[in-house]
Structure 1
């Protein structure tokens, strides 16, 4: 017979697996008497689980919704399915789910048996996503390790590649993972530089080496997402742009939510936007997709690119472009 504590988890798992269980069927699944089932149900109730019972012919048990989310025992195939789904959500296109998916994934992979982790990795290896991602892909396992070191306040060593591909070893205190619309960033205190740094996760090497625990420092800003957005708005990109946009700063910020940028309010309902990207095409798309008039101040390559784009679009529309480009 299964030990009582283990049987309670089994009862909970069975109640979560289907909407209603007849008392006899539940007892048969557990290999115990219906009286034992009633005692187990009473114990679950004392632990806060809302188990509803109906008496008589056709009676049985049903797990109701409580005020808090209870522990959720998973079968092997269920755990694999959840892990694969969380990995996809962590690096996928569903806006707003990425950071929550990483937190849940870090909890699950911490307790996932090796045999199930191998199944998850095998499924991931043979899965193909249709279409190109908007930005560089990152390994979900790396995200899970980073999330765990942030949560457990453990120092971390890793190899980091810069824009030119040159690698260096970094020794950091990791604090937060931040997701923009296209990329993941790690906010950490760099012990070698003795300053706060933001690291692109897709440039962090796979050999992550957690170390000893550290005492947390005060964060550099109250709004971590805004701080990281400002830090990576131009510095990390090959092309760094500065443009005046004919719209208030608050309106532009809402349009650019999830993108690395910095906005400065100006007079007459305008604002100055600092942003960047790895290609001129990406910067042009970002500025043009806002739906507001704008003037580019730098870089000069972007101004030339917009002028050529304007000519191509004019030809595509069957008319000559205006005498002067809208950006200068």
Structure 2
């Protein structure tokens, strides 16, 4: 294999691993000049690969969908079979890393011609794997776009509709995608809230790629899991209340960590924190997280307020009257 051919294949491999490559970075990766990169891009275009180039300081190259599946990759039938298989793998959570199937699918979608992509979409609608159901379906296109943004550390914008129907526009730095309880969740750094946020993917729409890259923020797998656990519990509960504690919002977040999501400042020295559960006992457990010595109030409604008060009184009586020693047998 000639050096030119080897270099062109290396360039193709790089183009397939990121949505957008700046010209100088490609040249540095390949150890050639930017002029040589331009010539190699032209060679790949002659082979059928559609490569978009943009000028300017933020310019560079990206691989586009072609009018036919590029040579030496897959036939139309193989491309359809692979794309359907990846969609099934993603929906079944068959791959160890939750994003693996999605990033592979997104990479494949980048080069699928429109006609093949339509066939994939039609077949995907008809294929429903056994054991997958319940919850709202997340679009594989949206999942693929987010998976690429996570992989490339690229800022994105999107519209989010909450469970209450409130629509907001968000600017985020995506970190990871995770499946849980038949839903997909996006964990990201919210640029407007200046904090970590978790969003259900089926409530996302209108994703815009900014082509602005960012240095990834480090999280341990345990921290990611904790964020997802909080997100799974962040749904409307049968018993809900607000706790207002005499603790500034920043100090409250320091002590509560991920569980401080949803908390808002109630003036400069107090914090309002929503708590809920399947019954008043779970709500009481949430209230027990308020740090020792911090006064707080709650608007827990009746009859749950009376039931909790009666249980608390009996607990206090039990603490004041320990049981007698065990009788010797």
TM-score, with structure 2 as normaliser: 0.48
